[in-house]
Structures are given as C-alpha cells and as structure tokens.
Amino acid sequence: MSEAASKRVTMRRGTNRAEYDPATMREVLDAGMVAHVGVATDDGPIVLPMAYGRTDNTLFLHGAVANAMLRAGTDVDVCVTVTLVDGLVIARTPFHNSMNYRSVVVRGTATRIDDPDAKIAALKIINDHVVEIWDTARPPSESDLKKTLVLEVPLDEMSAKIRAGDPVDEDQDLDGPHWAGVLPLTRSWGDIVPAADLVDGVDTPVNVAGLAGQRRT
C-alpha cells in the first residue's frame, strides 16, 4: 500500500478507508467536476466551489480577477477537496447510517500563472475537464484573459478516503426487524437544450452531443 506524502495528509480516523495510491486519487479527480477550495483570508476562512482541471502533477483553478478569495489564495497554502457521493448507506439504526463516497484532499501552495501561453494551456485543461469544446468554441480574447485569474496547485500532497459496501451494524441488530442496505446514486446527462437565442444552422458540438444521456461515474 502506498504511503501518505506528508503527515498533514495522513488519515487519522477511518484509516481503513485511506487511499494514497496516486493513480486512484487521480481517478477520483477525473470523475469529479467541482472542487471546494478553502483559503484563510484576512476576513476569516472561506470555501468556494470551483471548476478545475489537472495534469499528472498539477491542479488548475480559475476565476475572475475580481474574486477576492482567489486573490487571497495566491502564494499561500490552500486546501482543495473533491467529493463524489455514490450512494446512501442505510443501517438498521440511524446511528450507523452513512454514505458510499470517494473523496480527495489536496494541500499545497497556490501559485498564480501569468505567462500567457501557460495561462491559456491551463484554461484549456480546466475547460476540457468539464467538456471538451475548447477547440470548437470561440477562443478567449485578450480581454477575457485579462479578467481571469488562474492558479496552479501541485499534486504533491494529497490523500483519498473511499467508502463502499454495506452498512456496518451491531451484532445485536442483525436478526432484528429493521431494514438495511444501500441506495446507489447515479449521475447522468439529460437531453440537450439549445440556447433560446441560438441562430439557425449551428450544430451541437460533437463532444457535447456525445455526453447526452451518458452516465458519469
């Protein structure tokens, strides 16, 4: 079993569900769509949901230059979490109710990307993590780029926690009259809805059409 990269990402509770294998952690990051980013600001701690993308060694975040939290998170230690809920775990007693889930915590210093080419490359990675339309949409203008702040966080310190399977009930309840089991949660894309102001003759991008009706794991 892989070991944690540092003490501050080492699991202290529920260690049987800890996962430090880099490939497994990256699979969770790839399956997620929203990261919750925590920063300690002068006004106190704040956590905001953000889109993200990654390479093997780096997590990318972006937002408006006017975003006070992103500015406060530049060149300081941040915490980024991605969580996927896979189902409700219903036990014989509410005390043992739980969820099946996959989660990753990333800790590290967030660095602002100012190099224009690196900034565009990072934005493409973030965009294409959600849906690959960067190459079929209008490229960002110089004005767009000036309004956007992009941060990178190294994937050197991260850990995952994963729960799967049945509820864990007490022996005294196993033969009782109360139900126990798992209610899986699945995620899928619905039917495509074109924008109300879309002009005639503009086809749906292939990569958007390809997602319609697909289940996201």
In a domain, residue 217? The reply is: no
**What is the average pLDDT across 174-191?**
94
| Better pLDDT: 216 or 65 | 65
In a domain, residue 195? The reply is: no
% of the chain beyond a pLDDT of 90: 86
Per-residue confidence band for 213, with pLDDT thresholds at 50, 70 and 90: confident
Q: CA-to-CA distance for 45 and 39, rounded, in angstroms?
A: 6
Lowest mean pLDDT among 38-42, 56-60, 151-155: 38-42
pLDDT tens by residue, 108-146: 999 999 999 999 999 999 999 999 999 999 999 999 999
**What is the average pLDDT across 157-179?**
95
In a domain, residue 171? The reply is: yes
For residues 205, 151, 55, 158, the Cα torsion angle rounded to the nearest 10 degrees is -130
Burial 10-29 (b: 16+ CB within 10 A, else e): ebeeeeeebbbeeeebbbbb
- For the chain, the average pLDDT equals 94
> Residue 1: what pLDDT?
55
> Residue 53: what pLDDT?
98
Q: Residue 174 pLDDT > 70, yes or no?
A: yes
In a domain, residue 192? The reply is: no
Per-residue confidence band for 217, with pLDDT thresholds at 50, 70 and 90: confident
> Residue 146: what pLDDT?
93
On whether the CB atoms of residues 161 and 18 are closer than 8 A, the answer is: yes
Q: Residue 71 pLDDT > 90, yes or no?
A: no
In which domain, by residue range, is 179 found? 7-187
In a domain, residue 180? The reply is: yes
Burial 142-174 (b: 16+ CB within 10 A, else e): eeeeeebbbbbbebebbbbbbbeeebebeeeee
3-class state of residue 47 by DSSP:
strand
In a domain, residue 210? The reply is: no
Domain count, the chain: 1
Give the CATH number for residue 179. 2.30.110.10
Predicted model pTM:
0.91
Q: Are strands 77-90 and 98-109 parallel, antiparallel or unpaired?
A: antiparallel
In a domain, residue 39? The reply is: yes
Continuous segment of H or E residues that includes residue 184? strand 181-184
> Residue 96: what pLDDT?
96
In a domain, residue 102? The reply is: yes
